[in-house]
Amino acid sequence: MIHPSAYEHLVKAYDIRGLVPEEFDEAAAHTIGAAFVTLTGADRIAVARDMRGRVRTAAPRNTEVVA
């Protein structure tokens, strides 16, 4: 697992933004999602994405961290 600080440039006050897959890939999705669940204790999270096709590869990894 990559340390969450490697993705600090992607995390904004209200969302997570980055170019897929150059900046935000499946590993980033999993690491950031796992950190969020650890910090908040959430048992459910909402995952959203825009309409661009290349985003679809990263979104499922966020749903795995709370499953």
Q: Residue 42: what pLDDT?
A: 87
pLDDT at 51 over 80: no
Q: Contact at 8 Å (CB) between 66 and 44?
A: yes
Mean pLDDT (whole number) for 41-66: 67
Mean pLDDT (whole number) for 34-45: 86
Q: Residue 41: what pLDDT?
A: 92
Geometric angle at alpha carbon 43, from 41 and 49, rounded to 5°: 105
pLDDT tens, position by position, 12-30: 888 888 887 788 888 888 8
